[in-house]
Every structure is written in structure tokens, then in C-alpha cells.
Amino acid sequence: MMDFSGIISIATAGLKVQTKRMEVISENIANSDSTASTPGGDPYRRKVPVFRVVVEPQSQQTTVVFAGVKRDPRAFGTKVDPGNPAADATGTVKIPNIDPQVEQMDMRDAQLSYEANLNSISATRRLLSRTIDILRA
């Protein structure tokens, strides 16, 4: 049986993970138009958050933690823009491998997951408060 603190600790870990996920997505969105500073150079490369499962040795609770970011290996797009400082000899500019619609959907998913974890904490706190009220009566 899980205790109240275990439920809150798992949901808190979820809040932390979703916060980091939203930070990475925000960085991707902010850099979706960032090209290289040198001709023919590579633009900003999309980042993908990486998570890992951790099992707490004493309680055997399983949580997820942020393990860092990896670079999305997908190819860059290109556009013809001879006046751009990042343009190569043919006037082609590499553009980031970011799809703003995908980032927006990922952001919405992260927000919903964050809210679900927050609701779990709130519900657990209400249940704990009611339990204490019953024990006082």
C-alpha cells in the first residue's frame, strides 16, 4: 500500500519532468528561425528531452527523472535566401529541423501532464486533510 507522501513524491517528480520538458520545447520554439552565423554553417538543431526511470531503493517507488537532452538527428531543411549571412555559395540556407506545430502539440501534452500531476497532489492533500478531520472527530 502506498502512503500519501509516496503519492505526492511521485507526482512532484512528474511536475519536475514536465517543467524541464516545457523548457526544452520553449527553447526549440524560440530558435525555430535561427540560422547559422557563418555561410553554409549548421543552424540550431532541435533538442529532445530524455527521461529515465528510477526505482527508490527503500520504498521501491518508481519515478521518472530528467536525464538531459539529445539532439534530433533529422536533416535540416533548406531555403533559398541569397541575402542571408548563412547562405552558401548557391544562396541556400539551412534551416532548423523544427516543426512549430509538433512543438506546440508537445507543449500542450506537457502542460496537460503537468496539470494531471498537480491535480494528483491537490487531491491527495484534500484526502489527507479529510482523514485528519475524521480522526479529530
What nine digits make up the cell of 96? 532548423
Global pTM value: 0.86
pLDDT at position 2, please?
Answer: 55
Q: State the DSSP string of the chain.
A: ---HHHHHHHHHHHHHHHHHHHHHHHHHHHTTT---SSTT------EEEEEEEEE-TTT--EEEEEEEEEE--SPPEEEE-TTSTT--TTSEEEE-S--HHHHHHHHHHHHHHHHHHHHHHHHHHHHHHHHHHHHH-
pLDDT category at 1 given cuts 50, 70, 90 is very low
Lowest mean pLDDT, pick from 1-5, 101-105, 112-116: 1-5
pLDDT at position 4, please?
Answer: 81
State mean pLDDT over 102-121: 97
Rg (CA), the chain: 22
pLDDT at position 56, please?
Answer: 82
Domain boundaries, the chain: 4-136
Is the pLDDT confidence value at 105 over 90? yes
Single-letter residue type at 25: I
Is the pLDDT confidence value at 96 over 90? yes
CA distances from 77 to 33, 45, 74 (A): 11, 11, 9
State mean pLDDT over 86-110: 95
Q: Which residues pair with 78 in a beta bridge?
A: 94
Is the pLDDT confidence value at 114 over 70? yes
pLDDT tens by residue, 27-81: 999 999 999 989 989 999 999 999 999 998 887 888 999 999 999 999 999 999 9
Mean pLDDT of all residues belonging to the chain: 93
Task: Return all residues near 1 (Cβ < 8 A) that are at least 6 apart.
Answer: none
